[in-house]
Amino acid sequence: MIFYCQNPVQPKGKLLPNLGTTPPPPPPPPATPDILHNSQGPPNSILIDTFQHQDVNDLGHWHGALEGLTVHHGPGFVRFFPSDPDHNYHTQLSASSCYDLRAYQPSHYLHIVFGGTTKFSIFLNENNAACDFMRNPFPQTSDVVEAVRYSRGNDIYIPLAHFHIDQSRAVSVSFGGFYSLEPLTLYRVEIVPSIPVGFPVPHRMNNGRLMLTCTRPGSFAFGIDDGQPRFAQEVMKILEEERVLVTFFVVGLGLRDRETNFSNVYREMIKRGHQIALHSDTHRKMEGLASTAEIDREIVENIIAFRQILGIETHYFRPPFGTLGARTRQRLANFITEPQVITWSVDIEDWLWADSKTPEKQCEAFFRDVMHGGNLAVMHFLSATTVSYFREVIQFVKRQNMTIMRIDQCLEDPRSPPLKFPIH
């Protein structure tokens, strides 16, 4: 059966792009002006949230749970009952723009008063360059720390300087990456100029960088994850005929499986100039694993499979399901120099539509994300419908005057091969 895309539609209802799989919804208009615009200059501290109201924080901006996290609100607190590392809760610094935190750097701290589990991550999220939640990606990127490393008693103090994002464009603080079923209660989130005497502050741990977009002007990249071996020849043929190079994120388990012939498929992809990058060993939500030893195993076995079966090394990684938290990023940085953690700003949504009665919605999703500014795609070759649309979405990108290349090329990595096709 052949499937066709519909014509590109005018972007209408926007599905917000995401950091992995956790998009904040569009925020309501601000109830109060941002403190940022105070003509007296920035205040010495910022009270972000004391959880007095169900839907807005102390700045008058949206706060709320995403990805199905169960939440109980009370007067002056919010309690989470997490059961998945993708569960998360955002409290926004700015409703629809960028909040400039640079005046608080490097001296200030993010202070959180909490109770319950310390098995979660704390994120500081950066808005896109347009400071516009209607553009892709929103947010642009984030940095993240482990709650347990920064907590004592009921307090968490994190130097703002530990969050390596563009702090002129901060947009929200969020909580996620849960790896315990124990509840977490938050009472207060604020930025303060000092910490109690003797409160221990750990060193910042390396955790690579998280990229959702290409940086090279006019570039576009396909990051293609797990596939079905029976579609591999068709995918290769389309890539060859369209004369484009892409990046494949590949799990170790599939490479070792002699039944699938994946090792030969990816050896051939390498020969043709495509980039092969890490995607864990067994494709689990790594951040939700109970121990760092299990996270390590997912990374190390994937690296070993690449070394032994494909003869390659790479510092590019995409987390299975886009699930991310501090531990996954830190453990990657333990084994890989300068890990490049790649998610996406264009989602073809094959996981949602590929085997539905409306597979053409994959094209709609793809076109919409590109029209909103996305330039780094996620897709799989698991379904006949997705593969049948592949040529059309490639041609759509070309018509937008964007050049399709590997992810390392679109990120201007000096180690990436020159921009030419074929590569050899």
Q: Which is nearer to Zn ion, 225 or 349 (CB)?
A: 225
101 and 160 Cβ atoms separated by less than 8 Å:
yes
DSSP 123: E
Helices (H) then strands (E): counts for the chain: 10, 21
**Residue whose beta carbon is closest to Zn ion:** 225
Pick the stretch among 154-162, 174-182, 225-233, 254-262 that binds Zn ion (CB under 5 A).
225-233
By CB under 5 A, name the one of 34, 225, 347, 350 that touches Zn ion.
Answer: 225
Pick the stretch among 95-103, 120-128, 317-325, 362-370 that binds Zn ion (CB under 5 A).
317-325
Residues in the interface with Zn ion (CB under 5 A) total: 3
213 and 123 Cβ atoms separated by less than 8 Å:
no
Minimum gap (Å) between residue 245 Cβ and Zn ion: 20
Q: Which is nearer to Zn ion, 34 or 225 (CB)?
A: 225
Query: 417: cis peptide before it, omega within 30°?
Result: no
Q: Which is nearer to Zn ion, 18 or 128 (CB)?
A: 18
Minimum gap (Å) between residue 252 Cβ and Zn ion: 12
Residue type (1 letter), 280:
S
Polymer length in residues for the chain: 424
Pick the stretch among 4-12, 75-83, 312-320, 333-341 that binds Zn ion (CB under 5 A).
312-320
Q: Tell me the C-alpha distance between 56 and 53, whole Å.
A: 6
Helix 326-335 × helix 292-305 angle, to 10°: 50
Pick the stretch among 7-15, 139-147, 226-234, 413-421 that binds Zn ion (CB under 5 A).
226-234
Q: Which is nearer to Zn ion, 139 or 320 (CB)?
A: 320
Instruction: Determine, following the binding rule CB under 5 A, whether residue 226 of this chain makes contact with Zn ion.
Output: yes
Residues of span 357-416 touching Zn ion by CB under 5 A: none
DSSP 394: H
Residues of span 318-347 touching Zn ion by CB under 5 A: 320
Instruction: Determine, following the binding rule CB under 5 A, whether residue 228 of this chain makes contact with Zn ion.
Output: no
DSSP 66: E
Which tokens sit at 75? 């007067």
Q: Tell me the C-alpha distance between 211 and 419, whole Å.
A: 20
Q: What are phi and psi of 412, to 5 degrees?
A: 60, 35
Q: Which is nearer to Zn ion, 147 or 286 (CB)?
A: 286
Pick the stretch among 33-41, 150-158, 166-174, 314-322 that binds Zn ion (CB under 5 A).
314-322
Q: Which is nearer to Zn ion, 118 or 282 (CB)?
A: 282
Q: Tell me the C-alpha distance between 91 and 170, whole Å.
A: 12
Q: Tell me the C-alpha distance between 317 and 333, whole Å.
A: 11
Instruction: Determine, following the binding rule CB under 5 A, whether residue 282 of this chain makes contact with Zn ion.
Output: no
Minimum gap (Å) between residue 378 Cβ and Zn ion: 9
DSSP 143: E
Please calculate the CA angle 372-391-350 and round it to the nearest 5 degrees. Answer: 60
Q: Which is nearer to Zn ion, 21 or 57 (CB)?
A: 21
Residues at the site binding Zn ion, with contacts judged by CB under 5 A: 225-226, 320
